[in-house]
Each structure stands twice: as C-alpha cells, then as structure tokens.
Amino acid sequence: MKKKIMVLLGIFFLVLAVGSAQAASSPPGKVYNLKFSYHTPPKASLVGAYFNPWTAEIEKASGGRIKITQYGGESLAKSKDQYDATIAGMCDIALVDANETPGRFPQLEFDTLPYIFPNAEVGAQVYWDILQKYAVNTELKDVKVLGVATIAPSNYAGNKPAQKITDFKGMRIRAAGRTESWIIDALQGSPIEIATSDLGTSLERGLMDSCFLSWSAIMSFGVKDVTKYHVECNMFSRTWMIVMNKRVWDSMPPDLQKVFMDCSGPKNSAAYSATNDKITAGLKGAIAGSNKAAGKPPIYTLSKDELAGWKTALLPVWDKWAAEMEAKKLPGKAILSDINSFVQKYPVK
C-alpha cells in the first residue's frame, strides 16, 4: 500500500512539473503585444532615430510574433516613475533615467558628469560596459536591460547671457539629479528641480533662468521659444536605459529573447545613439535660424580657452561623485577608472 502511494505521488508531481513547464512557455505562434513607455515627446529626434527603427526591426525579426506599441510624452508614467511602472506591469518596456531617482541607481549616475564622453556613440558603449560590470545583478536585478540610449551633449539655454563661468553666479538653473546639482553648485548657481516636461512653462513664467539640454530637447520641449540665449558648450550627456519587465522577459521563448538582444545590446545602442547624435547636431542650425528670425542673439560657441576654463572649473564634480560613492562603500574610484579605460577602447568616429 505504501509503495502504491509513493508511485501515485511520483506521478502527481511529474504531471505538476510538466504542467508548470507548459504554462511557463508560450504557445507556438503566440503574439506578444508589448507597451513601450518613455518620457520624451513623440516628435523628439530620439523617437525617429532610435525607437521607431528599433521596434520595427524587432517586429520584423520576430515574424510578427512581437508587436510593440509606443507610449511617449509620459502618457503612461512620469519620467521618474518609469522603472516602477515597468516592475508593476503598467508597461512592458520603459526608458529609465537613473538621475531622475537620485540614490536608487547610484553606480549609474555618472553619465551627467561634465565632459565624460566624447560623443553619444562612445557614451552608449561605455555606459553599457559599466552597467554590465556593476549594476545588472544588483541595482537592476528586477528588470531585463535591453539597451541604452545616449543623447547628444547638453548646451546652455536661458534668459541670461552665459559666456563666462562667472555669469552663472546666482543663476537659477534646472537640475535633473544630484550630479547636475553639483555642476550647478560648482558654477555658483542655484539648482532647481523641475520635470523635463515642465521646462518650457517654467522658463516662460520666470520660475527658473536657464537649463542645460541637447539641441533636440531644446526644440522638442518648447525651450527654444522661451529662451533668448544659447551657448554651445557640450557640457554633459544623458544616458537612458531601455528595460523590460522581468516576468514578461521570462515568459518569452528563447528564440524571441534572442530576437530582442540581436536587435538591442551595446552595438545597436551605440549605432542608434550615433544616428540621433547626427540628427541633433543638425537641429543647431534650426535653432540658429529661429533665433535670427526672432531677433535673438546668435548661438555662442565657446573658444578653446573658454572651454578649457569650464572643464577646469567642473573637475571637482568628478571628485565629489567618487568621494560620495566611496563613503557609501561603493566603488566610485574604480568606476571612474573603468570609464576612462572603456572610453579609450572605443575609437571616436
């Protein structure tokens, strides 16, 4: 009798295991309809240069088994809430800015350190390398990282002239995250935390004096029309992560997971970021033309000596970042050392 019971139990657990395995795998031909959430406006250059071709390539490579619907302009979640929205299942894929939630992804808040990347293409690859080495199994363990997007360097847009370092003293400048706050502190300005989507109205109402954004963001967030002065300084870049809900990722069969990573990862992230960088650079001309038509001053480009002065003034920001990381028992110095090594690994094109 006891032997019979053991046999029946064995059969029961075998059936249970097979049933669980079948439930965990997707039925043949199942179509995955995925929501991709991000904060950038639908007309931003990043959407046309990166998100549209990236999602189209995935859909094509999947043979129609993956469908991705984009939700831009914070239509599903605010920028700072994108990561939590992904974990909660409000969206399946999201664009996440580590700097929007200071302290949550400390090892990844280095992208806005001044003059750290030579361009977006190199920046994307370096950020991916650091992410894989330090954060993918710790700070990002709750999601699957698909890729990154490094946008073009930030330039000055404001209603006060800013050609010399001393011009920033007392200026109210928008800061997105702690690193940008330190930059503004080093410039002797007053950092103000304002959501990206509110920049245009905040500048128009005089709630702030200026901000640092890429030419694309200056155009797409309505900053161009409400600012008088623009300075090409290429101060820092921003890198955003493209992450997927872990449960959704685990539910997909290996062949569809491969489709995602074949279309994503470091090389594709770098290529798409480079394309967007070129498009963004072209927008400088559009802003210059708009300024001329509106009777505004032309875009000012820093001379080599002026640029060197800005870089020197902002070097303490690197030291502060590393020191704060080390105080938290995190490898700040090692990360900066790796960044310098990784930058050298990728040729500037």
Residue 130 sits at the vertex; the CA angle it makes with 112 and 343, to the nearest 5 degrees, is 70
Report, in this order, helix, strand and coil percent for the chain, each rounded to 5. Answer: 55, 15, 30
pLDDT of residue 28: 62
Q: Could you tell me which CATH class the domain 30-150+239-279 is placed in?
A: alpha beta
How far is it, in rounded angstroms, from Cα 342 to Cα 56? 30
Instruction: Look at residue 70 and give its three-state secondary structure.
Output: strand
What amino acid is encoded at 192 in this protein? I
Q: Exposed, middle or buried: residue 307 (CB in 10 Å: 0-12, 13-18, 19+)?
A: middle
* Sequence-distant (≥ 6) Cβ neighbours of residue 102 within 8 angstroms: 109, 177, 178
pLDDT of residue 196: 84
Contact 111, 318 (CB under 8 A): no
| Tens-binned pLDDT, residue by residue, of the chain (349 aa) | 444 444 333 443 443 343 333 334 445 679 999 999 999 999 899 999 999 999 999 999 999 999 999 999 999 999 999 999 999 999 999 999 999 898 999 999 999 999 999 999 999 999 999 999 999 999 999 999 999 999 989 999 999 999 999 999 999 999 988 899 999 999 999 999 998 889 999 999 999 999 999 999 999 899 999 999 999 999 999 999 999 999 999 999 999 999 999 999 999 999 999 999 999 888 999 999 999 999 999 999 999 999 999 999 999 999 999 999 999 999 999 999 999 999 999 988 7
Phi-psi map region of 174: left, alpha, beta (phi>0 left; psi -120 to 50 alpha) = beta
How far is it, in rounded angstroms, from Cα 269 to Cα 149? 6
pLDDT of residue 16: 37
How far is it, in rounded angstroms, from Cα 142 to Cα 155? 34
The string of DSSP codes covering 284-344 is: HHHHHHHHHHTTPPPPEE--HHHHHHHHHHHHHHHHHHHHHHHHTT--HHHHHHHHHHHHH
Contact 129, 251 (CB under 8 A): no
DSSP 209: S
Q: Look at strands 190-192 and 172-174 and give their pairing.
A: parallel
* Sequence-distant (≥ 6) Cβ neighbours of residue 343 within 8 angstroms: 116, 117, 118, 122, 126
Q: Could you tell me which CATH class the domain 155-236+283-345 is placed in?
A: alpha beta
CATH 3.40.190.170 region(s) of the chain?
Answer: 30-150+239-279, 155-236+283-345
